């Protein structure tokens, strides 16, 4: 159950529009629900601002569908990651409003309205990195952040990044996706003041070791403040970028909307002898 739906439920009880028994029934599977093969965390959206996602790899289509159907009843966005076309078709057969993003290998149900501002900028070193970048973009957008993707600006043609420097500096947070040598995040991190999230991909030749080479490059970046997620982890990068973006948005909200801090207790004055 997401925060908005829970608040609406409590308001209905307070206004006398909803009986306590019916409200309890609505909360019956809150904060968790057991399905035998899975325990769903309906409380996660309230704790983290991001609902539980479904990793489809290793699950049968029937298991994925059962989990997605139950999560969708909460009203929060449902993100099913690493979903092949068969999983996508199975989900859409029971939830026609679900959208399958083939390149990102994701199914999204009930996404939040994304901001009209492109607050998150995603860069890819090459076109081959786009599936991972798309996973990050679909994730952040489904959670409510505005996203723009700029592809194929790797360091082999460094002028392509420099041509976009004004756009880079206008973003609130950057996600930089790179395979091969993984050098692009270090370059970007040295050019902008914003948080930079580096995503190594498994795209590359033999000594690339399936993404290990760019991962080590990014972890050893000489540009301070570059955060690194796991190989091909576009979902994790999208969630982190969204969280940073939402924190920045919250800081801009009027102070009246933010919870007031408790007044500090004034320490008694100490006289010197």
Q: What is the DSSP letter of 101?
A: E
Sign of CA dihedral 24, 27, 32, 36: positive
Rounded-to-integer distance, Cα 146 and Cα 121, Å: 9
Q: What is the pLDDT of residue 130?
A: 97
Q: What is the pLDDT of residue 28?
A: 60
Q: What is the pLDDT of residue 170?
A: 92
Task: Tell me the three state secondary structure of residue 6.
Answer: helix
Rounded-to-integer distance, Cα 47 and Cα 94, Å: 29
Residue 181 CB partners (closer than 8 Å, separation 6+): 155, 213, 214, 217
User: Where do the domains of the chain lie, and which CATH numbers do they carry?
Assistant: 31-109 (no CATH), 120-253 (3.40.50.1970)
Task: Burial-class residue 223 by CB neighbours within 10 Å (0-12, 13-18, 19+).
Answer: middle
Rounded-to-integer distance, Cα 195 and Cα 175, Å: 9
Nearest to 164 by CA among 187, 135, 131, 134: 187
Phi/psi class of residue 258: alpha, beta or left (left: φ > 0; alpha: ψ in -120 to 50)?
A: beta
**Which two tokens mark 106?**
């994701």
**Angle, CA 95 vertex, CA 134 and CA 28 arms, to 5°:** 105
Rounded-to-integer distance, Cα 226 and Cα 33, Å: 37
| pTM listed for this prediction | 0.80
Q: What is the pLDDT of residue 269?
A: 52
Q: Which strands sit side by side in the sheet containing 99-101, from one edge to the other?
A: 54-55, 78-81, 106-109, 99-101
CA distances from 159 to 128, 152, 155, 156, 187 (A): 19, 12, 8, 9, 12
Q: What is the pLDDT of residue 245?
A: 92
Q: What is the pLDDT of residue 42?
A: 66
Show pLDDT as tens, one digit a residue, over the chain (273 residues).
Answer: 556 667 777 888 888 888 887 776 666 656 766 677 776 666 666 677 777 889 999 999 999 999 998 888 877 889 999 999 999 999 999 999 999 999 999 999 988 888 888 799 999 999 999 999 999 999 999 999 999 999 999 999 999 999 999 999 999 999 999 999 999 999 999 999 999 999 999 999 999 999 999 999 999 999 998 999 999 999 999 999 999 998 887 776 654 454 454 554 554 555 554
Angle between helices 234-252 and 130-143 (to 10 degrees): 40
């Amino acid at each position: 159950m997401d925060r908005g739906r829970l608040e609406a439920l409590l308001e209905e009880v307070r206004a006398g529009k909803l009986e306590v028994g019916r409200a309890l029934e609505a909360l019956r599977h809150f904060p968790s629900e057991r399905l035998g093969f899975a325990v769903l965390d309906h409380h996660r959206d309230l704790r983290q601002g991001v609902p539980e996602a479904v990793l489809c790899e290793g699950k049968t289509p029937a298991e994925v569908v059962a989990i997605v159907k139950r999560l969708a009843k909460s009203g929060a966005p449902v993100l099913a990651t690493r979903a092949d076309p068969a999983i996508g078709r199975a989900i859409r057969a029971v939830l026609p409003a679900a959208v399958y993003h083939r390149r990102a290998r994701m199914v999204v149900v009930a996404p939040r309205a994304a901001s009209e501002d492109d607050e998150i900028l995603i860069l890819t070193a090459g076109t081959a990195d786009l599936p991972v970048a798309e996973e990050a973009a679909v994730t952040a957008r489904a959670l409510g952040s505005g996203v723009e993707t700029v592809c194929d600006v790797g360091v082999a043609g460094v002028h392509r990044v420099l041509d976009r420097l004004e756009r880079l500096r206008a973003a609130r947070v950057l996600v930089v996706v790179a395979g091969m040598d993984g050098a692009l995040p270090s370059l970007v991190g040295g050019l902008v003041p914003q948080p930079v999230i580096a995503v190594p991909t498994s795209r590359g030749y033999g000594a690339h070791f399936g993404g290990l080479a760019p991962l080590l490059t990014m972890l050893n970046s000489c540009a301070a403040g570059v955060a690194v997620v796991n190989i091909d982890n576009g979902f994790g990068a999208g969630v982190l970028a969204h969280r940073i973006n939402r924190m920045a948005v919250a800081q801009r909200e009027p102070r009246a909307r933010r919870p007031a801090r408790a007044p500090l207790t004034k320490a008694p004055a100490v006289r010197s002898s």
